[in-house]
Structure 1
Amino acid sequence: MKGMRLERLADSDRDRALAVIEASLSPAGYAQVRAAMALNEHLGELIDDYRDTLTEFAYWFTVFGTPSGDSPWGWQLMGHHVDLHCVFVGGQVVLAPVFLGAEPTTGTGRFEGITAFGDETEVALAFRRTLDPDREGEFLMGSSLRAEDLPPELAGPWNGRHLAGAGSDNLVLPPEGIVAASLPADQRDGLVELIRVYLDRLPTPQAERTLALVREHFDETRFAWRGGHDDECAFYYRIHSPVLLVEYDNHPGVFLANPEPARFHVHTIVRAPNGNDYGRDLLAQHYRLHHGG
């Protein structure tokens, strides 16, 4: 990997690097990133192994360009369960692609009180439970995440049900799931609440701007679900619009012992489809307008 490995920096330099990330995200977004990093060290202590990888600061931070209010620049943070790419173009921010995960999602011992993906899980379940059973044919891809109930390509321990993982930049996916615009008002509100969980990682102005774009495309926005929706079942869901792609998946243990997907191992992915991962489309507009290219 390229960049500065945070654990090799002096405390003051590491604080400066983290300050860039903190200033780029909302307080909730930054707290979630730091929780994933802390839980990574918690996992290392639980299994007492992989101590070169499973630590709080075993992450690589890279800056691209020169931070500026006018010229494009960006940063990335990469490591186990954390992979963020943030691009600034003028007054706009693109935070995509983003991969965040945790195994486990709740800390114990000296990590007591650290949790991750509570809203991504609970808000999704609350929304799923409002959907009409007689419309399951429109959104339910399958009722189980057990390997024996899945096609082989969705039963692997690494990507699981994810379609937009590593190597899928600017992925074009066929539409699948119930159309947001077809939902009654209360269910549309529930879907918006779930979308906000992911957009609220951004500063408020950018989150609201992106949400407005999603609303404009509600007739092309789809929601799909796989798995159960009781208090224990593992599940997967996808929100797919022309401007936002979200995936949430429960995984089996990689370092822990559970052989089947469980709620305490979560992977989430957020992308900007149709060409705007890494701000590619926004950067192209900038260079056409300001550099004639």
Structure 2
Amino acid sequence: MANPVSAVSVAGRMAGAARAFIESLEPEQRASACAPFDSPDRREFTYLPGPRPGLALDQMTAEQQALAMDLLATGLSEHGFATAQAIMQLEAILAEIEQSIGKPGWERRHPEYYWFRVLGEPGGVQPWMWKVGGHHLCVEMTVVGEAVAGTPQFFGANPATIPHGHDDGGRRTLPDEEDLARALLAELTAEQRELAVTGPVAPKDILTRHDPVADVGEIPSGLLAGDMHADAQQRLVRLVRNYLERVVPEIGDAAWREIDDAGLDRVSFRWAGALEPGPGHGHYYAVLGPTFLLEYDNTQNDANHIHTVWRDLRNDWGEDILAGHYAAHPHGS
């Protein structure tokens, strides 16, 4: 069984924030924001623009928005929460860019087009979850008693580097996701790089897309950590921890213990696309272990459009901790 978070404080903070958010809503808003745990959308997520089940920020008062963001903050680290806010704010920049070139549909870009959803009864005996989704941001937290599972998780950025001429021109979103992978590549020997770099052309998107179940059979083979020298292994660890550090330490540290227990030597790194950075140089990488998958793709919009995902191959959607719960409570008690 996966190593879930076992800290009352995490589950308790989430339940308290979820209840405060729900209690602030009017009946019609609550009908949109809340649903039973077994609702069909429990295991759905997409990083594409467009509406989701739930209540969007633009349908809330300022007080309700603050409570919604408080809920999001219970699952994300300080750094992860700041990154999520930056992703949301990029929608305003993207709207400006697309409107200026006359691209149809620019109106769907808005920093408040993010939907909040609570499934089940927060803090109750039965499992429950909360979800936040919109363009380039998917946060899913499943809570079973005191255990919390925090994947699938998607962070993206468009534009990844804000063009000059706009507010915060030159600012990068998700810079470490690229820079740490490039540092790992630079650390490899020529022979190791031949195994790690699987092709000169990067795929157009992450290979697992937004499928409910990640098919790792789509991921090409690469270089195992067990075949790297010590310095390269440390670079790989730092890259993996960077993704896990988006969530609160209790969740990220539990995920790391599971990865470490399964064997770091069995974790592989593969890169596809251009080796040199810069506009137009599309690139992709994946980090795959027995228990997890990380994917990164930056090919769209002249390689200024990042997609990243973290999948737990055992416990996406809380499947592992749910299995334990249902085994212990076969009659739903």
Q: SS where residue 270 of structure 1 aligns?
A: strand
Give TM-score scaled by structure 1 length.
Answer: 0.85
Tell me what 1:17 maps to: 68
Which residues in structure 2 correspond to 1:20-99 (within 5 Å)?
20-48=71-99, 50-68=105-123, 71-99=126-154
Separation in 1, partners of 2:260, 2:227? 13
Cross-structure match for 1:184: 229
Q: What residue in structure 2 maps to residue 270 of structure 1? A: 310
**What does the per-residue CA deviation read over 1:57-84, in whole Å, with 9 as the maximum and x for residues that have no partner?**
1111101112228642211112211222
Matches within 5 A, 1:238-257: 238-253=286-301
Deviates more, 1:37-46 or 1:275-284: 275-284
Structure 2 gap segments, 5+ residues each: 1-51
Q: CA deviation at 1:6?
A: 1.1
Alignment map for 1:206-245 (pairs within 5 Å): 206-216=251-261, 217-232=263-278, 233-245=281-293
Q: Which runs of 5+ in 1 are unaligned?
A: 146-153, 155-159
- Amino acid paired to 2:272: R
Structure 1 segments, 4+ long, off by >6 Å, are none
Tell me: CA distance 1:167–1:111, structure 2 relative to 1, closer, same or farther (3 Å).
Answer: same
Contact 2:192 2:228 in 1 (8 A): no
Q: Alpha-carbon deviation of 1:55?
A: 0.6
Distance 1:239 1:192 in 2: 10
8 A contact 1:220–1:241 mirrored in 2: yes
Pick aligned residue for 1:104 from 148, 159, 163:
159
Partner Cα separation in structure 1 for residue 221 and residue 205 of structure 2:
14
Q: How many residues align?
A: 271
Range 51-60 or range 198-207, more displaced:
51-60
- Cα distance in 2 for residues equivalent to 1:166 and 1:144: 21
Secondary structure in structure 1 of the residue aligned to 2:91: helix
Give the percent of matched residue pairs that are identical in Structure 1 and Structure 2.
30
- The alpha-carbon deviation at position 292 of structure 1 amounts to 5.7
Alpha-carbon distance in structure 1 between the residues aligned to 2:68 and 2:205: 33
Contact 2:115 2:133 in 1 (8 A): yes
Contact 2:151-2:311 at 8 Å conserved across structures: yes
1:129–1:229 contact (8 Å) kept in structure 2: no
Structure 1 113/71 Cα, relative in aligned 2: closer, same or farther at 3 Å? farther
Call closer, same or farther: CA 1:166–1:116 in 2, change over 3 Å.
same
Aligned match of 1:128 in 182, 185, 188? 185
Shift of 1:185: 1.5
1:199 to 230, 244, 255: 244
What's the TM-score once normalised by structure 2's chain length?
0.75
- Aligned-residue Cα RMSD (Å) equals 2.1
Q: CA deviation at 1:240?
A: 0.6
Task: Give the whole-Å Cα distance in 2 for the aligned partners of 1:66 and 1:113.
Answer: 43
The structure richer in helix per residue is 2
Give deviations 1:228-252, integer Å, cap 9, x for gaps: 3323233100001122110000122
Asked whether 1:166 is paired with 2:210, we answer yes
CA deviation digits over 1:82-119, x for unaligned, max 9?
22212122333222112221110234533458531111
